[in-house]
Chains A and B, each alone.
Chain A
Amino acid sequence: NAGVTQTPKFQVLKTGQSMTLQCAQDMNHEYMSWYRQDPGMGLRLIHYSVGAGITDQGEVPNGYNVSRSTTEDFPLRLLSAAPSQTSVYFCASRQGPHTEAFFGQGTRLTVV
């Protein structure tokens, strides 16, 4: 059972570089989300999607883009990396509005 798969697990970027964090799920879930985790802040929502072709902003969307061309994939793009984007990023999926979320193992990103 793969569940939610995130790649890469670790990444170091230089300020100004761009990159894409990949997220794929094999549970046919409509709802997918990206969060960032910072010490003492819990998980904060960056972007979310309720189905292919539908995305919306969360609490901290600035500097990030998403797209949802298929049900399975929900990539997160950093347009021009900044040190403030140093964080651990989690992708999650869930079946419906009242169900639990399943999380990937996270991507630890450092921007220098």
Chain B
Amino acid sequence: AQSVTQLDSHVSVSEGTPVLLRCNYSSSYSPSLFWYVQHPNKGLQLLLKYTSAATLVKGINGFEAEFKKSETSFHLTKPSAHMSDAAEYFCVVNRSGGSYIPTFGRGTSLIVHP
């Protein structure tokens, strides 16, 4: 069963405008949630993580995400997009039970226009 759903496969914004990448999860317990970024032909880098502390999580490069339990969402935002933000973004949940294996969403490709 799918544990993480990224609602958009592609998001296109203009430089300087806000970014919203959407993620919904399903988990029986309080989840650990993460956002990773992957630039072309590169590995994955952690942007931010939620592990049951503050619901608004700040990450690197001006990104932040808000954990909303009632909506089972963990959307990623940034107030102003930069050209260097163009990349693939993955929402990840450490699946509850057993070994809490990280389960990936299918990814959202962020395109930034000048």
Contact = CB atoms under 8 A, between A and B. Distances in A.
A7 to B, nearest CB: 14
B42 A105 contact: yes
Interface in B24-54: 32, 34, 36, 42-44, 46, 49, 51
Given A98-B32, A98-B51, A100-B34, A43 B104 contact: yes
A103 B99 contact: no
Nearest to B34: A100
A98 B102 CA distance: 9
For the side of the interface on A, what is the size category?
A: 20 to 34
B66 to A, nearest CB: 18
A74 interface: no
B100 A97 contact: yes
A103 B43 contact: yes
B111 to A, nearest CB: 16
Nearest to B32: A98
B49 A42 contact: no
B101 interface: yes
B22 interface: no
Of the listed residues B51, B102, B103, the one surrounded by the most CB atoms of chain A closer than 10 A to its CB is B102
User: Which are the 6 A-B pairs with shortest beta-carbon distances?
Assistant: A97-B100, A42-B104, A42-B106, A43-B104, A98-B32, A103-B44
